[in-house]
């Protein structure tokens, strides 16, 4: 690209940003009850936002006994009692939602493990490392695409580099890139994978600009597998503790990253704020997620992991006070998703092979990306070139899955021919339900913000969650563990720790052929209420005191709220992609104390099987047009029986 072309493109981009900002600001001022000191008044005032993520924290685990510091913060500031994770309830999906304010259908990242066809990134074969999660199905060598484990070593930054998506892996800029673009300070610290989403172009920075030519100057990025800038990378990497071998997974890493936030990032944020520049610090802990996965919910290691995170929160708050920045610092504590206990392990890929639906374990006709509580299913366009052939095989998969006890709601990708196909089959004339998917028994991916024309899988299969059953008799090494695969049900060794107190919420899960997870351990990813409902609370000068927000909120609402607090320009992506989330104005001191009512819609998809009707129900709340998936249920009843 010539200098002239680059200059023209930059000028157009700046013009678009300014126009969008003017429109957004005008709408903001005109809204009834909205205070006049909006974005413009916030610019140049030097605010700091600290976003602390407790990976995998369930809201019911925040108690005065187990997490006294977080419990006190939530009581003193704002507690969001109807907060939602984004489905699939996976770390990378929700990290991207937190970073961008956009759901998977807009930002394009739909799983921890996903499949990327060659035409999505022309030079994708040159990206290294570009790894699949251990135990995930391998892909035949002649395949034109590849399975990606997005939490793997440097996967995101490599995907987004010059040999991959060239800075556009994510459909729009992140809140971190917003702040950097306007000359602010950004510190992104913690667990590999999610941190790389927040600053996914950090390794492309040269002379203060990233691969897209955007400013990126005053920053610190420190994760398990990457430290930038180069001037501090050797010092920080040398001091980083090795992986923990204790009962609390990566406890030393979480302690060290909290120390970096306190000793390096917060003082740098103070310097920026004192100069009137915005500052954002993201601290993403490994826990309690990793320990809950390995030990199981309600075990001593899981409770000790909560205490570790709570003590790190105490260190952060103490540092804010010691630096004298409490009057200009807002602290948001959020989790990426909830959690449940594994009831059965499922290996869907093997089951489809045994059922004659998929050719072999490593064939590319039907590709299954296992993601714990949800699986992404992709069809080969060469094996199934027509809508009719694709619909036929997808219906076979859905019929097979929904006949099983482990299946939850299924979301199908709607092709361009879907409305005509539905009309031809008479569905739209009988019961007009626009939320239904193209395949019988499924919901449309659009309902929960999953549909992305370029990247959506053909099916997203949620496994079933039993929210009110507890893990007594499941968690603990003396209890049986079960696996359902190509040869049917089998017993395996239970690797979970001793149960101290039972915890409600069970889920079926697919982690591929990996032997890491068993019955009794923890998992997430499904569309059940224990995994969908996560934790969020905030405190600081811009948040109300002693307030409980009963409106539905979600991880997609966090970035727009930070944008409003810091007074930075909203993030716009190619094609005009913008955040779908809303600023949680009712929780802010200068916002409206009320954003209008919310309502909940119950949606049902039914599928007639041999002698049985499978009835799947999801509940979705709405506020301001934004959907919040609340829960799901599945029932099987004999044909002809009463409701």
Enumerate the domain spans of the chain: 46-106+172-338+533-587
Edge-first strand order for the sheet with 443-444 is 366-370, 374-379, 459-463, 407-412, 443-444
E strand intervals along 493-625: 504-509, 522-523, 536-539, 547-549, 553-554, 599-609, 612-623
pLDDT value of position 127: 42
pLDDT value of position 134: 64
pLDDT value of position 146: 83
Task: Report how far apart, in Å, the C-alpha atoms of 132 and of each of 78, 149, 348 are.
Answer: 40, 5, 17
pLDDT value of position 41: 56
What is d(CA 509, CA 342) in angstroms, rounded to the nearest whole number?
7
**Residue pair 278/46 in contact by the 8 Å Cβ criterion:** yes
Q: pTM value?
A: 0.90
pLDDT value of position 477: 97
**Residue pair 603/580 in contact by the 8 Å Cβ criterion:** no
pLDDT value of position 122: 45
pLDDT value of position 136: 61
The low-confidence residues of the chain, meaning pLDDT below 70, are 1-44, 118-144, 416-432, 591-595, 639-643
What is the per-residue pLDDT across 158-172, written as a single tens digit (0 to 9) for each? Answer: 889 888 888 999 999
Looking at domain 46-106+172-338+533-587, its CATH architecture is 3-Layer(aba) Sandwich (3.40)
What is residue 273's three-state secondary structure? helix
Residue 391 burial (CB count, 10 A): 20
């Amino acid at each position: 690209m010539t200098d002239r072309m680059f200059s023209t493109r930059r000028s157009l981009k700046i013009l678009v940003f300014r126009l969008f900002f003017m429109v957004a600001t005008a709408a903001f001022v005109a809204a009834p009850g909205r205070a006049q000191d909006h974005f413009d008044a916030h610019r140049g005032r030097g605010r700091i936002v600290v976003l602390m993520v407790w990976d995998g924290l369930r809201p019911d685990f925040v108690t005065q006994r187990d997490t006294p510091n977080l419990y006190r913060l939530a009581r003193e500031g704002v507690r969001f009692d109807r907060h939602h994770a984004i489905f699939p309830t996976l770390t990378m999906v929700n990290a991207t939602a937190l970073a961008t304010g956009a759901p998977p259908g807009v930002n394009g990242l739909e799983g921890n493990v996903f499949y990327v066809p060659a035409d999505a990134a022309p030079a994708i074969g040159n990206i290294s490392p570009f790894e699949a999660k251990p135990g995930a199905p391998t892909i035949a060598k002649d395949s034109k695409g590849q399975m990606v484990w997005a939490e793997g070593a440097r996967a995101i930054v490599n995907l987004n580099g010059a040999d991959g998506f060239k800075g556009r892996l994510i459909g729009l800029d992140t809140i971190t890139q917003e702040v950097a673009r306007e000359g602010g300070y950004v510190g992104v610290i913690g667990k590999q994978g999610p941190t790389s989403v927040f600053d996914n172009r950090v390794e492309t920075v040269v002379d203060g600009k990233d691969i897209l030519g955007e400013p990126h100057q005053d920053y610190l990025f420190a994760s398990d597998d990457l430290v930038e800038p180069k001037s501090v990378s050797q010092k920080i990497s040398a001091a980083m503790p090795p992986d923990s071998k204790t009962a609390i997974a990566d406890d030393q890493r979480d302690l060290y990253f909290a120390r970096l936030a306190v000793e390096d990032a917060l003082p740098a944020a103070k310097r920026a704020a004192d100069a009137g520049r915005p500052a954002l610090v993201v601290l993403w802990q490994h826990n309690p997620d990793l320990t809950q996965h390995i030990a199981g919910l309600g075990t001593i290691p899981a409770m000790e992991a909560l205490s570790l995170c709570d003590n790190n929160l105490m260190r952060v708050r103490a540092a804010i006070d010691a630096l004298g920045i409490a009057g200009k610092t807002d602290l948001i504590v959020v989790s990426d998703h909830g959690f449940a206990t594994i009831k059965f392990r499922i290996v869907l890929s093997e089951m489809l092979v045994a059922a004659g639906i998929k050719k072999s374990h490593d064939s590319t006709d039907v590709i299954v990306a296992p993601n714990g509580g949800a699986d992404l299913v992709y069809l080969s366009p060469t094996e199934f070139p027509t809508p009719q052939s694709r619909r036929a095989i997808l219906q076979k998969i859905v019929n097979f899955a929904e006949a099983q006890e482990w299946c939850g709601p299924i979301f199908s990708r709607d092709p361009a021919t879907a409305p005509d196909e539905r009309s031809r089959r008479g569905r739209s004339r009988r019961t007009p339900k626009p939320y239904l998917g193209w395949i019988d028994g499924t919901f449309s991916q659009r309902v929960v913000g999953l549909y992305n024309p370029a990247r959506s899988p053909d099916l997203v299969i949620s496994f079933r969650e039993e929210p009110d059953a507890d893990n007594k008799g499941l968690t603990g090494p003396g209890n049986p563990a079960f696996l359902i695969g190509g040869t049917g049900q089998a017993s395996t060794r239970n690797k979970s720790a001793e149960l101290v107190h039972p915890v409600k919420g069970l889920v079926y899960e697919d982690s591929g052929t990996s032997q890491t997870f068993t019955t009794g351990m923890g998992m997430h990813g499904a569309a059940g209420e224990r995994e969908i409902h996560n934790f969020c609370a905030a405190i600081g000068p811009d948040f109300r005191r002693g307030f409980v927000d009963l409106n539905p909120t979600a991880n997609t609402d966090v970035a727009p709220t930070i944008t409003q607090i810091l007074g930075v320009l909203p993030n716009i992506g190619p094609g005009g992609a913008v955040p779908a989330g809303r600023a949680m104005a009712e929780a802010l001191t200068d916002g409206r104390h009320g954003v209008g009512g919310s309502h909940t819609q119950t949606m049902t998809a039914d599928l007639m099987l041999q002698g049985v009707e499978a009835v799947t129900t999801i509940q979705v709340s709405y506020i301001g047009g934004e959907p919040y998936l609340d829960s799901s249920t599945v029932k099987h009843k004999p044909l002809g029986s009463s409701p």
